[in-house]
Amino acid sequence: MNDYSKLSSQEQEALYNNFLQEPDAFYEKAETDQLKAALKRSYKERFTVMTGLMKMNIMFSRAKIITKDNNSPQA
């Protein structure tokens, strides 16, 4: 991720104007940057991230939302 706070105010304004004119180009660049970063990861890192996501998916699928009725007496 780039640190845009280091840019001068003129550079920040130019970047903002470019974004207003063609926002899709910025999203495409961000997507390609993420893909490049993902390809640099090892298989072990990919496996670790995937298993973590799978565990969270199981946890969320088993979760139950219980609402508390304010009018009922406390137990």
Per-residue pLDDT of the chain (75 residues; tens, 9 = 90+): 567 778 888 888 888 888 888 888 888 888 999 899 988 999 999 999 999 999 999 999 999 988 888 776 655
In this prediction, residue 73 carries a pLDDT of 63
Beta-carbon neighbour count of residue 35 at 10 Å? 10
In this prediction, residue 17 carries a pLDDT of 87
C-alpha 2/C-alpha 15 separation (Å) is: 13
In this prediction, residue 75 carries a pLDDT of 52
In this prediction, residue 16 carries a pLDDT of 84
